[in-house]
Structure formats: structure tokens, C-alpha cells
Amino acid sequence: MKKVNVGIIGLGTIGSGVYEALLDNAELIRQRSNVSIIVKGVCDKNKKVLKTISSRKDLIKTSNAADLINDSEIDVIVELIGGIERAKHIITAALNNGKHVVTANKALLSECWREIFPLAEKNNLFIKFEASVCGAIPIIRTLQECFVGNKIERIYGILNGTTNFILTEMKEKGYSFRKALKIAQEKGIAEKKPELDISGKDSAQKLVILSLIGFGQDISLSDVYVEGITEIEPQDIRNASLWGYSIKLLAIAKDRPDGLELRVHPTLLKSSNLLSDVRGEDNAVFVRGDLVGDSLLFGKGAGKTPTASSVIGDIAEIAQQISFRGKHIVTYNYNYIPEKKKISRIEELSFSFYLRFSVIDKPGVLAGISSILAENNISIANVFQNERKEGKAVPVLVLTHKAKEGDMRKAITRINKLSYVTDKTVAIRIES
Amino acid sequence: MKKVNVGIIGLGTIGSGVYEALLDNAELIRQRSNVSIIVKGVCDKNKKVLKTISSRKDLIKTSNAADLINDSEIDVIVELIGGIERAKHIITAALNNGKHVVTANKALLSECWREIFPLAEKNNLFIKFEASVCGAIPIIRTLQECFVGNKIERIYGILNGTTNFILTEMKEKGYSFRKALKIAQEKGIAEKKPELDISGKDSAQKLVILSLIGFGQDISLSDVYVEGITEIEPQDIRNASLWGYSIKLLAIAKDRPDGLELRVHPTLLKSSNLLSDVRGEDNAVFVRGDLVGDSLLFGKGAGKTPTASSVIGDIAEIAQQISFRGKHIVTYNYNYIPEKKKISRIEELSFSFYLRFSVIDKPGVLAGISSILAENNISIANVFQNERKEGKAVPVLVLTHKAKEGDMRKAITRINKLSYVTDKTVAIRIES
């Protein structure tokens, strides 16, 4: 089994998430990718944080990034300290030292794109950054690989979870912007200094990255028109609702014949638009390409494990590429079986059911049906009979609590044989 | 520039879509991936179809697949004939002949998984198949690469566009199943022999592929419980609505402690679930992983260009891998600029607006405001004043038709200076 050594710089929420998930799911990742990913070292300027990392004898713990960047055995440097100056120094040093780089740093990428990628190219190294835009959402790979054949026409979406949480609270609870912001801060969703999020700048940074990939233009942050959500009042949200709209902070990039449109601002969206249903901290991005039409990716835009998931996807891809380069084809292991599982038979599973009985409308019918249901351990949540035609066939509708499929089948077989049942019972499972 | 030669076998809807899109977007794909993808040959058993292909002198046109499989210059065989036996023969022959394979063949993959991947592995070749599940939706790469670090807990979604179209027609127009099916057939959405779709088997094949990747189990089609949509009546859809549910044909795979659940059947879904908003032919898949939480991918599940998009994504990745293997790192071209575009200034763009004016409630106010709007070429779609307090400040709400941002700014500057305007005007753009 090939081994790839990784050094993680920055052990905040995401960094510790990456470290822990690489340990917890190590075997699964090994089985799928045929590579063993080893965290050789971790770095944080705060020595207290280093002490909290579970001790493995051979793990390098340091508060000096150079200890990892200069370690000849480390193949991949994972930069998770954020900010621009120090992060740029680390990434540049890593690339100059022959290390591949994984980063989640949107500020850096949106400002230094045309400095760091040429350096990586010159040194024949990877920089991967799926986690820099919308946490767990695989939008970078989707644009770069899956949609590579498309002329991208527009990219737009909810790229910032903090502002979407605030707008959701304002809508659903009628809170003022200030109050919703305070709640977001108390929950750790907004920073103490929330300007980057609420001003729309965070969304703009992400939009720059997506546009650089999708449109292939030489654009920068100053090309984006940015307006935040601080002026929105609860009455605006209510008024919008009356007219069938939600208010969302959208980041929008459109490639039009007369130019590129790049903007971030609060937006009224028809309630029928899927984006209007994106609540709380969730993120979602629409991409329209000339081939794919409209596609939407939805998921967690931030948070410890969702962001770690994307970082690990990048590390694993680099690990596969450098392990097999020139020897084998890099591929998924199509025959991994982590642990043999039995396949459950449908009869063993439990569901709530929608049932439609076709019965003669006469006294005692419901009693007869419900006693058969009860004898088969099926309890009724709701009964509804919307037609009355004494002596004639009518539908009777029932919603049940969770019941075993096997029990339900037995009950229906018996019910279908009742003299006053005129047609086969319709049963549809409910998914919660 | 590296060149990679491709042979396309099967020139039906998708095959011709791939051929055309590779021509139309050739330059863009070259710029992004640093590889030139050349269609060296096309094959279709129907010679009439071959004649419709635009003639390029050096293009091989044949009705014998072996002509492409045995061509020493072809690197990648694209199998798009569908079905199992002949397709399997083509893929096997291609792999034995040192050709990489791209396919959209879900029937074949769901039945012959453990025959063809070992053969590809033995020969150190790729088989890629993003287009086999949900057309344009990048679900295969997402599971294999982006979410590689996740223990996948469940995969569920609307994997078949035909049945979703039928259920949407039944819901929105009250049609019977038979009538909705007929309309789907007239529109070319359902086949003349629609059994594969309406029985749920097509969804089951796709679920098998996703489960093989996500869970890594030795499962097959017979492990999936399958129930189609033929028994659903319009009244069931109406009844479900009354209780706040939609009826969708879902494919569901869950990894539970006591076993794997694999099932396809009509399902009641709460209207708040994003899947309940997926209309017509669209597809959507939820994936829940231990790190990412819930993620949704939505898009076109079938059709000429959406499916071609995924096929081309696969071809391009193979092309990059084999061109640079052992020499360079395989990467996106981060500095491509297809054609320099100007960035539009926000003032030049047009939007519909939501406007909230804070004004003293007295006669003539609306006339004053609307005349300033009119002078700036802004026309009003809707006015709403929900409070009346004669002589006091009240909000007046206006929705406008499309107007230039620059005009709007001028109008608001003037309006904000009016004596009866008590506070800054709030303006929010509407996105349609």
C-alpha cells in the first residue's frame, strides 16, 4: 500500500476536523483509494491547541510551520490558518519546497490567484481548494471536471451561511437584523466581527473563485458589485412574502454578450425558486451551462466536518495522483467491501403508510378494518373519508404510524377479502 | 498540445450530442484542459444515421464497431449503444485492445460491475460512467472523489425523469396515469415500451451503481425491492396534498446497523422536503455522509446535451490523465481566458425592483414619487400601502418593471430629497 504524508498547518475548527476525520475514517479511505494517508505533522501557533491533539508517538507537533514545510518526508501541506499574508508565505514556501498544497483559503485565492497557480505549475505541483467555496458542496470539481465541456452561462447562489441564517431568522421569527445577528453570534454562526459576512464580501470572494474557473477571465474582487444585508428590515421580508417572494443574499455571475455581470446583493426570489427554500446555514449554487442546463448543488456551506470532508477529498486525490503517476491508472477501487453487510428484506422494514381502502359506505366498516390493522400491530394516525354515499363504494383514507411492511401486507391481504371491500387497497409508504 | 483520439460507438441522441458538443466547444475544452480531444471515428449500425454526420475528411464512419476498437490510434472508446450483450462485447474488446472506455450504460454496469472493472484494472485502463446515473448530475464523481472521506449513510432521490414527469402531470393537471403516460410518450419523454421506467427498474439500476460506490458492497439488482408508479391514481395525489405531502418515485439506499436498505417505490414526501419541489423530467439526489451531512445535487436527468456533458467530462479527464501521466501533474488550466470580456458596471444593468419609501401620508405624495420614477424611465408594476396615518410617516411599497440601475439611483437620490420623504428609500433587486 502506497503511503502519502501530510502536514496540517492551522488546527482551528477545520484543521482539527481534518485531523480527526482522517483518523476516524482512515480504513475506509484506504480501501476506496488504495492509498494510505498519514498525518505526519500538525502545526498551530497556539501551543495549548497542540496539546489537545491525541498523542501518537511519531506525530510532529510544532508551532513553527517551517518544521513541516522543510520535512523531506511530507508530500502535502494543508494550509488552514486563513488570512492572506502568512498563509501566502506558507503556500509559497511549500510550493518552492516541492510540496503539494491543499487550502480552504478563499481570501487568499480570490486575491492571489495569478501568483500562486503559476508557481505551482512551474514546480509541477497541485494546489487544490474544494473547501474554499461552500464547505461540503463539490462545486469546484463540478465546474472543473464534470462541466468542462460546457460554456458556463451563469453561476448564482447562496454562498454565505451566516447571512442566510440571519435572513431565515428574520423571516421565520420576525426578528430585526440586529437581533438575528446577535443570535447568530451566540450560536457561533457569526463571528464577533461579522463585517466580512454581513457586508457580502465573503460571498464576493467565493464568486470570484467560481467565476475564474467557470468563465476563465482575469477578474478580481474589485470587479464585483457588493451590497450586504444590514439595511434589510423585517417589514421588507414580510412585504416580499405578500408578493410571493423571499429575500436572499445572492452572489450572481452571468456571462452575457455585452459583458460579465458580477454582483452580490440582497435579492427578491420567487418562492417557487429552489433557492428560496434554502434555510439557515445551508448553501446552494446554481450553474447554468450550455449543455447541462440548470444544475443545483445544495449542502452545508461551513462547519467542522463538512469542510473537512472537502479538504480530505482534495488530499485523497493528490495522494492517488502522486502514488500511481506513471505506473498505474489512478482510479477508485471498484471492489472495496469495508465490511460485508446483509441486505434487509423489505418485509423487515418499518414505514408509516398512506392507505386507501375502497369500501361500501355502511356502519361497521371502519371498525372492521381498524381491528384487522390493530391485530397486525398497526396503529392509525389519521382517518379521512371525504365522500359519503350510503350503500355505495367510497374511498376511506388512513395514515398510519410506523408499522412493519410484513405486518402491513398480512393486514391488507385480510382486508382485501372483506365482503364490503370493493377494490384492492392502495398502500404508499411515507418517507420522513 | 497533446492530442487524444476518441471513437464514438452509437450515434443515437446522446452519441450525436457528444459528437456535436465536442466540435462546438472544442476550443473551450482545449483551453481548460490543455488537451485536444479529436473524434477519430464514429460507428452506428444504421448507415443512414452515419450519413447525417457532418463530413470531415479524416473522420472514420463505420457500421462495424471493430473498425474503431482495432484502430491503433484511438485512445478512448465511447460506448453509447445501450443494452447489455452487444455493449458488453464492445467494452470487453476495447479493454482487451488497450482502449479506455467511457459509457452511459446503467443496465450493463448494474449487472456486470464485477466483470468489467477487474478487466479494466488488469489492463491498467479507465472505465468512466458519470452519464450512467442522472444525466448531467455529477453524482458519480461526487461520491468517488469529493465525499471519499465520508462513511455514506444514505443515498436517496428522484433518479428517473420519465416517472417524475408523469407524476408531475398527474399532480398539476389532475390527469390519470394512462393519460400522463401518453403525453410523456407524445413528447418523447417516455419510450413506446415504457416498462423499464414506469416499473421502477431504471431507478433500481441507478441505485445499484450508486450503492456499489457509496457503500462498497457486493450487491445486485435482485437485492433492490422495486415497485413502480402504475397503481397511483390522481385521487391519491390529491389526498396526499391535503395532508401536506407529494408523491414521488424515490430510490432509497440506507446503511443501517442491521443491514442495507435498498428500495424503489412511490413515496409520500412532506412538501418541505426539497425533493418534493423537483418537477417534470428533473432529477435530484440526496447524499448523507458522516462528515458532509445532507447534500443535494439537482439537474437534468436525461436528454441530449445534459448527458453529453457528463460523457465529455469523462473523456476530458481520461484525456488529461493519459496525456500527462508520468510527466506533468494533471490539472485544470487556471489561466485560461477564452476571449477577454468586459465586466459590466452595475449601473448599466437592468432589474425589477422592490422599493420601500418612507413618506408622510398626505395627498399628492404618490403622484410626486411616481412622476420622478417616470422621468427616469422607471415604470411601476404594483403599488401597496398597508398603513394609513394621515399626516404621519408610513411605508409605501412599489414593485417596478425592469429599469436601469443607473436610472434607479438617480430617481432615488431625487426622491430622498423630497420634503415629505422621512427616511432613506430601501431598494432591493428582484431576480427572475
* A203-260 pLDDT per residue, tens: 999 999 999 999 988 889 999 999 999 989 999 999 889 888 999 999 999 998 888 8
The residue among B78, B343, B382, B432 with the most chain A CBs within 10 A of its CB, best to mutate, is B343
CA A342 centroid distance within chain: 29
- Report how far residue A368's alpha carbon sits from residue A363's, in angstroms, rounded to the nearest whole number: 10
Binary contact (A428, B240; C-beta < 8 A): yes
Torsion, CA B242, CA B248, CA B251, CA B252, rounded to 10: -20
Q: What's the burial of B36, exposed, middle or buried (CB within 10 Å: 0-12/13-18/19+)?
A: middle
What is the mean pLDDT of the segment spanning B375-400? 88
Torsion, Cα B76 B77 B82 B88, to 10 degrees, reads -110
Q: Is the model's pLDDT at A54 over the cut of 80?
A: no
β-pair partners for B283: B299
SS3 category, A82: coil
Chain B positions touching A260 (Cβ under 8 A) are 341-344
Which residues from chain A sit within 8 angstroms of residue B305, using beta carbons?
290-293
Structural contact between residues A161 and A189, judged by C-beta atoms closer than 8 angstroms: yes
Q: For residue B17, give the chain A residue with the closest CA.
A: A291
A86 Cβ contact list (under 8 Å, min separation 6): none
Query: Mean pLDDT over residues B141-168, rounded?
Result: 96
Give the chain B residue whose CA is nearest to the CA of A242. Answer: B384
Tell how many helices (H) and how many strands (E) occur in chain B: 15, 17
Q: What does the pLDDT average to over A69-88? A: 97
What single-letter amino acid sits at A163? T
Q: Does A293 touch chain B (CB under 8 A)?
A: yes
- To the nearest whole Å, the CA of A364 is away from the closest chain B CA by 23
pLDDT tens digits, one per residue of B208-252: 999 999 998 888 899 999 999 999 999 999 988 988 899 999 999
Per-residue pLDDT, A332: 65
Q: Does the pLDDT of residue B392 top 90, yes or no?
A: no
- pLDDT given at position B337: 67
At residue A300 the predicted structure's pLDDT band, cuts being 50, 70 and 90, is very high
**A245–B430: do the CB atoms touch at under 8 Å?**
yes
B 223-262 → A contacts, CB under 8 A? 223, 225, 231-233, 235-236, 239-240, 242-243, 245, 247, 250, 252, 255-256, 258-262
pLDDT-derived band at B332 (thresholds 50, 70, 90) equals: low
Cα separation, B167 vs B232, whole angstroms: 9
Compare all CA atoms of chain A with the CA of B236 and give the residue at the minimum distance: A356
In the residue annotation, A410 being an active-site residue is answered as no
8 A C-beta contact, residue A24 and residue B140? no
Domain boundaries, chain B: 2-135+305-324, 139-302, 346-430
pLDDT of residue A330: 55
Q: Which of B82, B166, B96 lies closest to B129 in space, CA to CA?
A: B82
Residue type (1 letter), B174: G
CB contact under 8 A, B261 and A349: yes
Q: What is the fold of A139-300?
A: Dihydrodipicolinate Reductase; domain 2 (3.30.360)
> Does the structure show a pLDDT above 70 at B328?
no
Instruction: Choose among B25, B212, B343: nearest Cβ to A219.
Output: B343
- Residue identified by cell 422621468 is B375
| A 17-46 residues with CB < 8 A to B | 17, 21-22, 25, 28-29, 31-33
Residue environment code for A361-388, b if the CB has 16+ CB neighbours within 10 A, otherwise e: beeebeeebbebbeebebebeeeeeeee
What residue of B is the nearest CA neighbor of A322?
Answer: B329
Query: Does pLDDT of B335 surpass 80?
Result: no
Biggest CA–CA distance in chain A, Å, is: 88
Which residue among A88, A99, A106, A206 is the active-site one? A206
In CATH terms, the superfamily for domain A346-430 is ACT domain (3.30.70.260)
Identify the CATH number of the domain defined by range A2-135+305-324.
3.40.50.720
Does B431 sit within 8 Å of A340, measured CB to CB? no
Give the minimum alpha-carbon distance from A192 to chain B in angstroms, rounded to a whole number: 26
Radius of gyration of chain B measured on its C-alpha atoms? 28
Nearest CA in chain A to B229: A428
**Count of CB atoms situated within 10 Å of the CB of B186:** 9
pLDDT of residue A106: 97
User: For chains A and B, what is the number of CB pairs under 8 angstroms?
Assistant: 374
Q: The complex's ipTM?
A: 0.90
Question: Chain A contacts of B250, Cβ < 8 Å?
Answer: 431
Mutation site for B-interface testing, chosen from A291, A340, A351 by largest number of B Cβ within 10 Å: A291
Contact flag A291-B277 (C-beta cutoff 8 Å) = no
Average pLDDT over residues B109-116: 93
Q: Which fold has domain B139-302?
A: Dihydrodipicolinate Reductase; domain 2 (3.30.360)
The grid coordinates of residue A388 equal: 359519503
Which residue from B minimizes the CA distance to A386?
A: B239
In the predicted structure, residue B331 carries a pLDDT above the cut 60 = no
Query: What is the Cα–Cα distance from B432 to B427, expressed in whole angstroms?
Result: 16
Beta-sheet pairing, A76-79 with A2-9: parallel
Distance CA B295, CA A303 (A): 14
Q: Which of B225, B239, B293 sits opposite A300 (nearest CB)?
A: B293
Mean pLDDT confidence for B364-385: 92
Q: What is the mean pLDDT of chain B?
A: 92
Catalytic residues of B: 206
The answer to whether residue B191 scores a pLDDT higher than 60 is yes
Q: How many helices (H) and strands (E) does chain A have?
A: 15, 17
Closest CA to B352 of B398, B401, B407, B412: B401
Q: How far, in Å, are A330, B40, B44, B65, B97 from residue B91 at the CA level?
A: 19, 18, 15, 10, 10
For all residues of chain A together, what is the average pLDDT? Answer: 92
Question: Per-residue pLDDT tens for A90-121?
Answer: 999 999 999 999 999 999 999 999 899 989 98
Arithmetic mean of pLDDT, B166-171: 97
Give B-chain residues touching A158 at CB under 8 angstroms.
none
Helix-, strand-, coil-residue percentages of chain B, each rounded to 5: 40, 30, 30
Q: Read out DSSP for B326-372?
A: TTS-----TT--SS--PBPPGGG-EEEEEEEEEEEB-TTHHHHHHHH
Instruction: Compute how many other C-beta atoms are within 10 angstroms of the C-beta atom of residue A392.
Output: 12
Interface test with A, best of B146, B220, B287, B400 (most A CBs within 10 A): B146
pLDDT tens digit string along B233-243? Answer: 999 999 889 88
The stretch B410-419 carries a mean pLDDT of: 97
Which residue out of B276, B300, B329 would a mutagenesis test of the A interface target, given it has the greatest number of A Cβ atoms within 10 Å? B329
**Which residue, among B427, B423, B422, has the nearest Cα to B408 in the 3D structure?**
B427
The yes-or-no verdict on residue B144 having pLDDT over 80 is yes
Set of chain A residues whose Cβ sits within 8 Å of the Cβ of B283: none
3-state percent helix, strand, coil for chain A, nearest multiple of 5: 40, 30, 30
Of A141-145, B226-230, B339-343, minimum mean pLDDT range: B339-343
Using an 8 Å CB-CB cutoff, list chain A residues near B354. Answer: 236, 239-240, 243, 245, 268
Question: Is B332 in the A-facing interface, judged by CB distances under 8 Å?
Answer: yes
Q: Which of A106, A98, A148 has the alpha carbon at shortest distance from A126?
A: A98
pLDDT (tens digit, 9 = 90+) per residue, B3-49?
A: 999 999 999 999 999 999 999 999 999 989 889 999 999 999 999 99
Q: DSSP assignment of A174-220, as one string?
A: ---HHHHHHHHHHTTSS-SS-HHHHTSHHHHHHHHHHHHHHH-----
pLDDT for A329: 54
Q: How far apart are CA B360 and CA B393, in angstroms?
A: 4
Share of chain A above pLDDT 70, in %: 96
Question: To probe the interface with A, which of B101, B124, B145 has the most A CB atoms within 10 Å?
Answer: B145
| Residue type for position A156 | Y
pLDDT of A327 strictly over 60: no
Answer yes or no: do B384 and A239 touch at CB < 8 A.
yes
Minimal C-alpha gap between A225 and chain B (Å): 7
A154 pLDDT above the threshold of 80: yes
- Which chain B positions have a beta carbon within 8 Å of A312's beta carbon? 148-149, 291
> What is the rounded distance in angstroms from the CA atom of residue B362 to the CA atom of residue B270?
47
- Choose among B31, B242, B395: nearest Cβ to A235: B395
Q: What pLDDT, on a 0 to 100 scale, did the predictor assign at position A406?
A: 96
Helix (H, G, I), strand (E, B) or coil at B241: helix
Considering Cα of B305, then B307, then B310, then B316, what sign does the dihedral take?
A: negative
Contact residues, chain A, for B16 at CB < 8 Å: none
B44-77 pLDDT, tens digit each: 999 999 988 877 788 999 999 999 999 999 999 9
Taking a C-beta distance cutoff of 8 angstroms, is the pair A149, B37 a contact?
no
